[in-house]
Amino acid sequence: MRGACVSVFALGLLALRLASAGNDTQLIILHHAGHTGSHALCNLFASLDCVQADCHEPRLNADEVQRFRLASNRPIALRIYRMKQANRRGGSNALQDLKDQRLVRFMPQVRTDLMRWALSEYCKAQGQRGVPKATQPCFETDDPQFKNQQPSTSPTNTYDISTLEAVANMLVKSKWEHDTQIANLGFPTALTHFVFYEDLLAAEEGKHDLLETYAFWILKRLELGIPEGCRRDAAVFDNALTPGEKRVEKVHSSRISDFVANTHVVRQLFAGSRFPTWDEVADGADVPFQIRRHWNNSLQHSWQSLGRAAAQPAAAAQPAAAQPLDPRRRGEVSAINALLPR
């Protein structure tokens, strides 16, 4: 009986490998590190009609990864995993066949604004990794990922500076320094590109809504190109939400004075060179500059307008009742790709 079970398991692995060999869906693994906006970025990609995105955080399992990729009916599949935990179990090594075939990309999202990141982790991090608890009980939910469900009677709160400093030091050590060690996460630099929470905010909160253009830029940086006919449609993601599931909402204002009572003292803590910048940490870890370039949003509005205009003739040539995007059509919209930075 045991031999039969082993044989069935081996046949299952063989079937996955054979199916993988005939399937060219590209998989993006979005590394989740906590309050870095990875769920918001996943929501953005879920709104692209060429991407099959799952924004939950399942435990990384090679067979499950293969099944998710093969089940996708889109040219690109994206899923969030906590890759540091997976690497400790050697899980990413099981994806070697996908790496060898360049069918997988690794995309960690980083927050470079340490002050605002530490404020967002203030309650969640207390009592963990050497961070002391503040003298006063915390004034918001432990994990303010979504809208705060404990409204404060005061519009602002006072943050304990020694606790906030400990949170910032913890983030530098346990997040920045570990997440920049690409080799330890199990992915080669050729299949990796860092993206940044602040760039996502710039695309969403600027004068123009540039979320689609920003998502296309990321696909370009990952050397995946833009599948022909790919467009952003927020309804695609809204319709995919399960009952009770919420779209990710930003909790804190970008102006810290809107929710921090001791704003001046907090700003003073992060002024100067008390903490390293993320670029300094990345330089120390020998992270190549070409895989950590920021999005230049100052030029994107004109690129977006020109790219859409260039794509209009092709769109007009399609029949009125557009067919679902064929997942095997891999042609790029060259007019748009040419406008995006290399």
The pLDDT of residue 22 is 45
Instruction: Flag whether pLDDT at 318 surpasses 70.
Output: no
Look at residues 6, 5, 51 and name the one whose alpha carbon lies nearest to residue 30.
51
Averaged over 61-71, what is the pLDDT? 84
* Residue 3 or 138, more confident: 138
Sequence spans of domains, the chain: 14-337
Collect all residues with Cβ–Cβ distance below 8 Å to 275 and sequence separation of at least 6.
114, 168, 169, 172
Q: In the prediction, which pLDDT does 89 show? A: 52
Q: Report the sign of the C-alpha dihedral through residues 251, 280, 185, 204, in that order.
A: positive
Mean pLDDT computed over 76-104: 78
Helices (H), 72-175: 83-88, 96-100, 114-121, 161-171
What six digits make up the tokens of 237? 């993601």
* Predicted local distance difference test score (pLDDT) of residue 221: 94
Does the structure show a pLDDT above 60 at 266?
Answer: yes
Q: Which residue has the higher pLDDT, 304 or 276?
A: 276
Structure tokens at 225: 């190109």
pLDDT digit string (tens) for 112-122?
Answer: 999 999 998 88
Per the CB < 8 A criterion, the answer to whether 222 and 327 are in contact is no
The secondary element (H helix, E strand) that includes residue 80 is strand 76-81
Q: Is the pLDDT of residue 7 over 80?
A: no
210-240 pLDDT, tens digit each? 899 999 999 999 999 899 999 998 776 666 5
pLDDT of residue 329: 31
Segment among 45-59, 297-311, 324-338 with least mean pLDDT: 324-338
Distances (CA, A) of 138 to 121, 191, 228, 257: 11, 40, 49, 18
Q: Which residue has the higher pLDDT, 209 or 199?
A: 199
Contact (Cβ atoms closer than 8 angstroms) between residue 256 and residue 115: yes
- Predicted confidence band at 300 (pLDDT cuts at 50, 70, 90)? low
> Are the CB atoms for 30 and 107 separated by under 8 Å?
yes
**pLDDT band at residue 181 using 50, 70 and 90 as cut-offs:** confident
Q: Is the pLDDT of residue 5 over 50?
A: no
Question: Which has more confidence, 81 or 16?
Answer: 81
pTM, 2 dp: 0.76
DSSP H or E segment with residue 106: strand 104-110
Q: Which residue has the higher pLDDT, 9 or 280?
A: 280
Which residue is it, tokens 């007009």? 316
